[in-house]
């Protein structure tokens, strides 16, 4: 799909099961289950959605999914299925890993940052995109390295610490930034200290990758949030701001865990899916 001068490709790299209580927090099950039916273990369908963009001669990857390092125990716990590896999708587009210029992860939780590194055929750990700049909020990195007891299981240190080992792969941010022409990162916090939203702009057109600020379509309601959010009130505030801009200016939104038509627009509070951007 083209959005002005931006060429966009959306990829669902992983399908898995998420706990309904984790996904919807204090929202009563009788409400959320109408939209996201739970299985007998109270698990709902989820996905990891990655965006690949070509713009101004650069290749940008936003979100890398779970990756190939996940333990068998965790894979079974979350019923993880991987329909297509991110690198295979890039290969279909004629893009080699070393040709990726910029990598953005909305935060460093295992289901968003797992693909930043990978195991090679010998089992050694390596950076997936060796020549790319990786843009991460400093507050997110510091918290991920030393998480609180509640958040510890959400971070897997092998996902991201190799980025800082021996080469200049990471650019740490301290708030909002334009990392390339037309490529903006907005520090939203809330879910984690350094959560950020990617906004790609081409003239008056824009696409925003929401991360866990807006996981799935039920979270398009401002008061519906995840129980994992560290600062729920900040999540509500940032969601309301994003929704106002997205509807007013017709931004394309990409929801990072929506398994069914994860890209679309808001029109008078309704979700209008964009099927052309679904791989």
**pLDDT at site 40:** 94
Q: What is the dihedral of CA 10, 12, 17, 18, to 10 degrees?
A: -30
Q: How confident is the model at residue 220 (pLDDT cuts 50, 70, 90)?
A: very high
The overall pTM is greater than 0.85: yes
Stretch (H or E) spanning 118: strand 117-119
Q: Specify the range with the lowest mean pLDDT, choosing from 65-74, 198-207, 260-269.
A: 65-74
Place of tokens 């998420």: 18
Q: What is the pLDDT of residues 82-113, one digit of tens each?
A: 656 788 889 989 999 999 999 999 999 999 99
**CATH numbers and ranges of domains, the chain:** 2-277 (3.60.15.10)
Q: Which of 216, 250, 212, 252 is nearest to 234 (CA)?
A: 212
Whole-angstrom distance, CA of residue 72 vs CA of residue 60: 30
Q: Residue 68 pLDDT more than 60?
A: yes
Q: What share of the chain is helix, strand, coil (3-state, %, to 5)?
A: 30, 30, 40
Whole-angstrom distance, CA of residue 13 vs CA of residue 82: 6
Q: Residue 249 pLDDT more than 70?
A: yes
Q: Residue 168 pLDDT more than 80?
A: no
Q: Is 201 helix (H, G, I), strand (E, B) or coil?
A: strand
């Amino acid at each position: 799909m083209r959005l002005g001068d931006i060429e966009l490709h959306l990829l669902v790299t992983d399908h898995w099961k998420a706990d309904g209580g984790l996904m919807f927090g204090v929202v009563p099950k009788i409400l959320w289950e109408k939209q996201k039916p739970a299985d007998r273990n109270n698990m709902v369908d989820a996905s990891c959605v990655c965006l690949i963009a070509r713009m101004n001669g650069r290749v940008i990857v936003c979100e890398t999914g779970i990756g190939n390092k996940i333990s068998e125990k965790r894979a079974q716990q979350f019923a993880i299925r991987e329909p297509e590896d991110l690198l295979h999708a890039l290969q279909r587009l004629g893009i080699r890993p070393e040709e990726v210029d910029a990598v953005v992860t909305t935060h460093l939780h295992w289901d968003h940052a797992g693909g930043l590194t990978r195991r090679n055929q010998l089992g050694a750990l390596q950076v997936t995109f060796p020549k790319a700049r990786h843009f991460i909020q400093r507050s997110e990195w510091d918290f991920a390295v030393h998480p609180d007891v509640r958040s510890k299981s959400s971070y897997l240190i092998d996902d991201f610490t190799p980025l800082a080992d021996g080469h200049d792969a990471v650019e740490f941010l301290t708030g909002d930034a334009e990392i390339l022409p037309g490529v903006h990162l907005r520090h939203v916090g809330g879910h984690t200290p350094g959560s950020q939203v990617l906004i790609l702009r081409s003239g008056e057109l824009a696409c925003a990758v929401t991360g866990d600020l807006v996981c799935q379509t039920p979270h398009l309601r401002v008061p519906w949030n995840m129980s994992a959010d560290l600062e729920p009130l900040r999540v509500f505030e940032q969601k309301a701001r994003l929704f106002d801009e997205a509807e007013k200016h017709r931004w394309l939104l990409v929801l990072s865990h929506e398994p069914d038509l994860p890209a679309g627009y808001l029109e008078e509070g309704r979700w209008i899916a964009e099927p052309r951007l679904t791989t």
